[in-house]
Structure 1
Amino acid sequence: MAQTSLEQTDLSPRREALQLWIPLGIVLLLTLVTAFLLTGQYQIAAGKGIVQGLGEPLPISSSAHLIVVPWFFDWQDPFFQTQTFDVALHMGTLIALLLFFWRDWLNLIMHMHQPRSQQGRMFWFIVLASIPAGIVGLLLDSLAEEYFLDKYLVIAGTMSIMGVVLYIADRFAPRRYELSDLTWKHALLVGCAQALALIPGVSRSGSTMTMGRALGFTRETAARFSFLMAIPITFGAGVLKLRDIDSSQLTAPFWLGISVSFVVGALAVGFLLRYVRTNSFLPFIIYRLVIAAVIVAVYLAR
């Protein structure tokens, strides 16, 4: 299932189309099951697992969706509406990323003591890129959690703005750089973009891919580096947020949410890595603008 090599495999158009769209059909089926068969905490946990699994790898902002989707459906629960559970869901997508990139990371770690080698240099570039988000997260995470919890119009604004910025970067920036062309300046700029993901609607993958494209990297390279960067920052957030979780909260719905996040996340990662080889980010940009309009409409209607 995992494809971690930088080498690409030629596929017939029909087979490639099937590999692209069948996973999304599975996600749709999971969504229908969640909507019509599950109830109570199981529905909330699985629903948010789907949201996280799709929103983390795709440039559409999982944090924004984890706020607005429960608001859309009026989901109410004292634990499953907390950031602690949202971070737990990130562990599902973290495992999905490791499924695809564990060989890459093993190779990076094995060469970390050789900073002049390509793999060793990449390891330290990722460390450098993780510093801005780590600092901002430690300083402002709690403040951002409280501020954005019910700022639906702000989220609509950030969804729209980042959609436009992504469009401009993807449409007009050249596509000439690969991972081997990455420098410490590139890594630091992408890392600073990752720090902006503390704002719901910006999207960690969206901001890093946007910066990667703005710097002239190909879509696939921007996506791959974004996914490699996601692993240490997500792991660090999980260690900080989940170390004090109460064992009584480790219920069946809790594990269901993480499991769904993992399955959907794996499908989404595989989909995006194949999709960006030959396609633009335009569908995600359109989606951002549409969901922003829906947020505004629901807000005004209520």
Structure 2
Amino acid sequence: MDWFQVIVLALVQGITEFLPISSSAHLVLVPELTDWSDQGLAFDVALHVGSLLAVIIYFRIELIRMTVSWLRSWRGAMDEDARLAWGVILATIPVGLAGLAFKDLIETQMRSATVLAVSLIGFGLLLGYADWRRPGKRSEYQLRWQDIAWIGIAQALALIPGTSRSGITMTAALLLGLSREGGARFSFLLSIPVIILAGGLETRELILSPVSVDWPALLGGTVLSGVSAYLCIHYFLAFIRRIGMQPFVIYRVIFGIWLLWFFA
């Protein structure tokens, strides 16, 4: 793998992982537009590690408070940080169960360009509708238990390629009355256990299939993916506070139409 390939794939992963535009659609498209060979499991794991480090570092203060409060909650002390920590855990259960149940179906029969395009357009328009309605004012700390359940169920839909995990969870949060920033922040916190689960499965497959490892490429991919993901989170939160989700909706629709045309 040459360094240009490392840079492109790391930037695509880092930027699209947290934007509501579907990282899977972009990562599927890259090899279709180039003659690059598959980057391999080891590099996929490295990119996920970079994204995971980015979101952990960005929310490090909140995560420390949540962890401390979560541990205290086992003794009956439930504050807003403990509720948020439990919310992240409970909202991850549906996608974990759905991933185990439908993993083979998703990997073998739902990776077509048509599925990607339809998901990009359909769920993009739903995001547009949710954002077009007057946004709520509740933060991630004001989630109700039923809100957490619905967002968790919505996150399971992200297993459909092209849906976008961040996009569908933000859509659900907006429909439930959260502010744009509150919905986005909860979505980013939800990414932590999801990336850990996905990376864990890839790591297990990597261990079971011995391959040679290009350590400089892995390290470079991890760092670049992490830095780009961190900057993406920071600027995305500032962007939606002022402008909203509609530019991403337009991008999704145009991208979906282009995919249908390109692969027709």
Calculate the TM-score normalised by the size of structure 2: 0.91
User: Matches of 1:134 and 1:103 in 2, distance apart?
Assistant: 26
- Matched to 1:96, the amino acid is A
Matches within 5 A, 1:28-39: none
Displacement of 1:239 in angstroms is 2.0
User: Matches of 2:16 and 2:104 in 1, distance apart?
Assistant: 21
3-state DSSP class of the match of 1:284?
helix
Encode CA deviations 1:89-134: one digit per residue, 9 max, x unaligned: 1221111101111111111110113252111111111111010111
Residue 23 of structure 1 is matched in structure 2 by none
Identity score, percent: 36
3-state DSSP class of the match of 1:277?
helix
User: Matches of 1:263 and 1:145 in 2, distance apart?
Assistant: 29
Provide closer, same or farther for how the CA distance between residues 140 and 59 of structure 1 changes in structure 2, counting only shifts above 3 A: same
Encode CA deviations 1:12-68: one digit per residue, 9 max, x unaligned: xxxxxxxxxxxxxxxxxxxxxxxxxxxx54333321111111111110011111111
Task: Check whether the contact 1:46–1:253 (CA below 8 A) recurs between aligned residues.
Answer: no
Q: 1:116 aligns with which of 78, 85, 97?
A: 78
Residue 225 of structure 2 is matched in structure 1 by 261
Q: 1:237 aligns with which of 188, 194, 198?
A: 198
Residue 93, structure 1, aligned to residue 51, structure 2: yes
Displacement of 1:87 in angstroms is 4.2
Residue 210 of structure 1 is matched in structure 2 by 171
- Matched to 1:128, the amino acid is L
User: Matches of 1:41 and 1:207 in 2, distance apart?
Assistant: 34
- Matched to 2:91, the amino acid is A
Task: Check whether the contact 1:47–1:257 (CA below 8 A) recurs between aligned residues.
Answer: no
Task: Check whether the contact 2:46–2:219 (CA below 8 A) recurs between aligned residues.
Answer: no
Encode CA deviations 1:220-241: one digit per residue, 9 max, x unaligned: 0000000111111211221222
- Matched to 1:133, the amino acid is V
Q: 1:136 aligns with which of 88, 98, 102?
A: 98
Residue 281 of structure 1 is matched in structure 2 by 245
For this pair of structures, how many residues does the alignment match?
257
Higher relative contact order (CA 8 A, sep 6+): 2
- Matched to 2:144, the amino acid is T
Residue 228 of structure 1 is matched in structure 2 by 189
Q: 1:165 aligns with which of 90, 108, 126?
A: 126
Encode CA deviations 1:202-223: one digit per residue, 9 max, x unaligned: 0010010000001010000000
User: Matches of 1:102 and 1:275 in 2, distance apart?
Assistant: 21
User: Matches of 1:84 and 1:172 in 2, distance apart?
Assistant: 42
Task: Check whether the contact 1:173–1:215 (CA below 8 A) recurs between aligned residues.
Answer: no
Displacement of 1:247 in angstroms is 6.2
Task: Check whether the contact 1:64–1:200 (CA below 8 A) recurs between aligned residues.
Answer: yes
Task: Check whether the contact 2:106–2:160 (CA below 8 A) recurs between aligned residues.
Answer: yes
Show structure 2 runs of 5+ residues with no match: none
Residue 16 of structure 1 is matched in structure 2 by none
Calculate the TM-score normalised by the size of structure 1: 0.80
